[in-house]
């Protein structure tokens, strides 16, 4: 897990697949697993989050690469993240 962005309005975390589960010897045969990554976007204003994986994650990854090439303003980043707020249906629950 890697924190990519944190502001008063949003948090974006990149969820990376683990190479091997904790406590598992890599020489021990494991059943095949789908290795996927995703992004969690939390809208602090509404208290909701959305998890992007699959093609949504790939599109968001392209956006991040574009931001790395052309450094955006905070307003531009927040406007883009605000576009994902409509997908956010899950309330954030703190354990």
Identify the DSSP state of 23: T
Backbone angles phi, psi at 58, to 5 degrees: -65, -40
In this predicted structure, the answer to whether residue 92 has a pLDDT above a threshold of 90 is no
Identify the DSSP state of 1: -
Average pLDDT over residues 69-78: 94
pLDDT digits (tens, 9 = 90+) for 63-73: 999 999 999 99
Distance CA 19, CA 47 (A): 31
């Amino acid at each position: 897990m890697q924190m990519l962005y944190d502001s008063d309005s949003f948090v974006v975390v990149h969820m990376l697949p683990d190479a091997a589960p904790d406590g598992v010897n890599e020489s021990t045969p494991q059943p095949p697993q789908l290795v996927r990554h995703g992004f969690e976007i939390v809208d602090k204003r509404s208290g909701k989050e959305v998890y992007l994986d699959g093609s949504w994650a790939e599109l968001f990854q392209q956006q991040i690469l574009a931001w790395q090439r052309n450094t955006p303003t905070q307003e531009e980043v927040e406007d883009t993240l605000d576009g994902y707020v409509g997908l956010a249906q899950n309330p954030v629950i703190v354990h």
